[in-house]
Amino acid sequence: MNWLLVALLGQLLSAAATLIDKILLTRSSFRPVSYAFWLGILGAFAVFLVPFGFEILSFRASAFAALSGATFIYGLYFFFLALRRGEFSGMVPALGGITPVAALLSSAVIAGTSLAGLEWAGFAFLVLGSVALALAEPKGARLFLAAALLAAGALLGLSSALAKEVFAETGFISGLIWIKAWGIAAALGFLFSRSARAEIFGAVRRPEARGLFIGGRLAATLGSFLLYFAISLAHPALVEATQGARYAFVFAAAWLLLGENFRGKILALKIFATFLIALGLGSLALGEYAKSLPAVPAERPIVWGVTFSEKFSRELGLDWRANYLAILDELKPARLRLIAYWDEIEREPGARDFASLDWQLDEAERRGVPVILALGLKMPRWPECHAPDWAEALPEAEEEKALSEHVLEVVLRYRDRASIIMWQVENEPFLMFGACRARLHEFFHGELALVRALDPERPVLLTDGGELGLWTHAARDGDVFGTTMYRKVYPKVIGPLFGVIEYPLGPDYFRVKERFVRWWTGKGDQRFIVIELQGEPWSPVHLRDVPFEDQIEMFSPAYFADTIEYAKRAGFEEYYLWGAEWWWWMKEVNGTDEYWNYARQLYRH
C-alpha cells in the first residue's frame, strides 16, 4: 500500500480536527489538558483491533510502546497550549517544521536509519515550507510559542520514531494496540492534578459545543490511526513531514471560516510556503513512483563509450595524439564522441584547418569505432563556448552568420564518413552554464535546421544537464537525447563556502525523469543515452593546477568505481565517460594508473 496516500488522508482528518479544536479553544469551551486527555482516552477504540492480531511484546518493544504512547499524549498537550495562543493557520505548519526533524534525529539515534535520494528532497522542501509558515506568525507571540512548539515537536517526533521500532518487531495492529493502551495510561496521569480534573470534567458538562468536540476527537483519532499505519510503512520523518500537506486546507479554512486575514508580506510568505510544500509532496510522490519501477537488470548489455578532447589533452601538457591512440588501443571503447572546436578549426576568418580532426576520424575508422561528432559554438570542456577570438569581436548577428558557415563546412566535409553515426548540435544548449553570452532561440534552431537540411539521414543528438536541466526542450527538438551524469560538483554560488558537494540524488532520479520526459514530449520510443558520465574531479581551477592529493580526495579510484555502479543502476544502455585525458595524465605524469586500469577493465568487460 502507498504510505503517502495513507499519510495524506490522515493529515486531512487531523487538519479537520485541529480546525474544530481552534473553534472551541477560541470560545474557551475546552482547555488544552482536556483535549490531550480525551484524545488519549479515545485510543481505547484500538481494542476493536484485538481479534485481528494481538501478541505480548518483548521488554524492549514494551518499553518503546510505553514511551511512544506517553510522548504522543504529552506532545499533544504542548501543541494545544501553542494552538490556544497562536493563529491556527500558523501553528499547524510550524509544528510541521519541527516534528519531522525530531523524528529524523530520533530515528538516527534509535535505529540508525536515514533518508535517501528523493526522500531527502521531499523532506527538505516540506520542512522549509512549514518553517516559512511559522515565520508568518506575529512577533509578539513567538517566545512562548517557540517553547511550546519545540516541546511538542520533540515529543511527537520521538513518539513516531519509537512507534516505528514497535511496528517493526510486532506488526502494525498489535503495536498500535499497545501504544494506544500506554497513551490511555499517560492520559489518566492528568487526573492526579486537581486543576486538570476540573478542566477535563468541566468541559464535558458544557452542552453547547459537545457535538463539535466529539466530532473533532473522532476525526483526530482516525487520523492518528492512519498516520501510525503510514509510519509502519515508511520512515517516520517522512510521514511527519507530510504535515505540510495540511496547509492547503488550513489556509482556506482559516481565511474563510475563522476570519484570519492575510495580506502583503504575510500572504506572499504563505504562498511561497505552499509552493515549497507542493515541491516536497511532489518529490515524495516521485520517490514512491521510482520504487514501483521494475528493477534494472544487473547483467544487461551496456555500450561504454568515451569523449576525447584534443584541446584538454594539450592543456594537461600531454602528447594528445599519443593520448588518443592509447585510448583507442588500450582502453578500446565501443564508441567515441569527438569535437569539432570552432576556435581550433578556424583560427583566422575563412582559413580552416581540419587536419587534426581528420586524423582523429581516420584512426577511429581504422579500428571500426563509431563516432558522435559534436559541432557548434558551445562544446564540451571549459569555457564551454569555443568561439575564435576574431568571431567574439563581431556583432552578434555577424558572429551567428560566421558560426553557420563553420557548421556548414563541418557537415559538408564529414557527412560522407561512415564512421559518424550522429551529429551533436551544441552542448547543453538549454542550460545556462559557462562563459557564454545569451543566444536567441531562433539562432540555435536555425543551426539545428541547417544540419538537418545538409544531412537528413543522420540523427541529431541534443544534450542537457542531468541534475539541473529540464530535458524537455532537448528531447523535444532532438532525435536522440543525451544527459550528463555528475555526482560531485563545485557550484559557482555556494562552492566558495562549502567546496565540492555531492548531489543528494539516487540513480532512480534519472529513471523517473526519463519517464516523465518521454510522457511530456510524447516520444516514448526516443533513444536516451548518458553522453557525459563523470570520471574526473570537478574543480574551480584547471586540474593541472590542483595538488595531486586534493584530486584523489575529490575523486578517488574507489569513488570512480562507485560512480560506474551508480550509473548502471540508472538503467541506461549507453554511456560516454568523461575524463580519459585525465586518466592518462594521472598515469603518465603522476604515476597513478588505477583510473586507467579500471577503465580498461570496464571497456573490455
Residues 26 and 80 in one domain: yes
pLDDT, average across residues 465-475: 96
- Which of 292, 313, 332 finishes a domain? 292
pLDDT, average across residues 426-437: 88
Q: How confident is the model at residue 212 (pLDDT cuts 50, 70, 90)?
A: confident
Residues 310 and 286 in one domain: no
8 A C-beta contact, residue 93 and residue 246: yes
Domain count within the chain:
2
Q: Looking at the domain assignment, is residue 19 inside a domain? A: yes
8 A C-beta contact, residue 129 and residue 270: no
Residue 601, CA atoms < 13 Å, CB-side half-sphere? 8
Q: Looking at the domain assignment, is residue 446 inside a domain? A: yes
Residues 160 and 57 in one domain: yes
Q: Looking at the domain assignment, is residue 445 inside a domain? A: yes
Q: Looking at the domain assignment, is residue 257 inside a domain? A: yes
pLDDT > 70 in the chain, percent: 90
Domain extent, residue 286, equals 3-292
The grid coordinates of residue 488 equal 560531485
Query: Is the per-residue pLDDT at 237 higher than 70?
Result: yes
Residues 125 and 167 in one domain: yes
pLDDT, average across residues 307-317: 98
8 A C-beta contact, residue 107 and residue 237: yes
Residues 288 and 387 in one domain: no
Residues 267 and 335 in one domain: no
In this predicted structure, what is the pLDDT of residue 456?
97
pLDDT, average across residues 343-354: 97
Query: Is the per-residue pLDDT at 140 higher than 70?
Result: no
Composition of the chain by helix, strand, coil, percent to 5: 65, 10, 25
What stretch of H or E contains 593?
none
Choice among 130-144, 435-449, 500-514, 519-533 with the minimum mean pLDDT:
130-144
Radius of gyration, CA atoms only, the chain: 31
pLDDT, average across residues 250-268: 68
Find the CATH number of the domain harbouring 444.
3.20.20.80
8 A C-beta contact, residue 372 and residue 421: yes
In this predicted structure, what is the pLDDT of residue 150?
85
Residues 288 and 313 in one domain: no
pLDDT in tens, 37-60: 988 998 898 888 888 888 999 999
DSSP helix/strand/coil, 34: helix
Looking only at Cα atoms, what is the longest distance across the chain?
A: 97
Q: Looking at the domain assignment, is residue 284 inside a domain? A: yes
Q: Looking at the domain assignment, is residue 371 inside a domain? A: yes
In this predicted structure, what is the pLDDT of residue 247?
64
Distance CA 240, CA 14 (A): 12
- Residues 6+ away with beta carbon under 8 Å from 180: 43, 44, 45, 46, 69
pLDDT in tens, 471-493: 999 999 999 999 999 999 999 88
Residues 252 and 107 in one domain: yes
pLDDT, average across residues 526-543: 97
In this predicted structure, what is the pLDDT of residue 23?
72
- Which of 292, 326, 346 finishes a domain? 292
Q: How confident is the model at residue 320 (pLDDT cuts 50, 70, 90)?
A: very high
**Which sign does the torsion angle of CA 195, 200, 201, 206 carry?**
positive
The grid coordinates of residue 75 equal 506532545
Q: In this predicted model, which residue has the larger pLDDT, 120 or 333?
A: 333
pLDDT, average across residues 265-269: 76
pLDDT in tens, 114-132: 887 778 888 888 788 777 7
Distance CA 22, CA 134 (A): 17
Q: In this predicted model, which residue has the larger pLDDT, 215 or 424?
A: 424
* CA geometry: angle 458, 460, 464, nearest 5 deg: 160
Q: How confident is the model at residue 364 (pLDDT cuts 50, 70, 90)?
A: very high
The grid coordinates of residue 500 equal 565540492
Per-residue CA distances from 105 to 62, 154, 236 (Å) = 21, 10, 10
Q: Looking at the domain assignment, is residue 297 inside a domain? A: no
Q: Looking at the domain assignment, is residue 285 inside a domain? A: yes
Residues 99 and 161 in one domain: yes
- Which of 292, 327, 359 finishes a domain? 292
> What rounded mean pLDDT belongs to the chain?
89
Task: Check residue 480 and report its DSSP letter.
Answer: E
DSSP letter for each residue of 179-191: HHHHHHHHHHGGG
Residues 481 and 543 in one domain: yes
In this predicted structure, what is the pLDDT of residue 106?
92
**Which sign does the torsion angle of CA 186, 188, 192, 193 carry?**
positive
Residues 567 and 518 in one domain: yes
pLDDT in tens, 376-403: 999 999 999 999 999 999 999 999 999 9
pLDDT, average across residues 352-378: 98
pLDDT, average across residues 208-233: 82
The grid coordinates of residue 532 equal 557525459
Distance CA 487, CA 569 (A): 14
Residues 240 and 165 in one domain: yes
Q: With a threshold of 0.85, does the pTM exceed it?
A: no
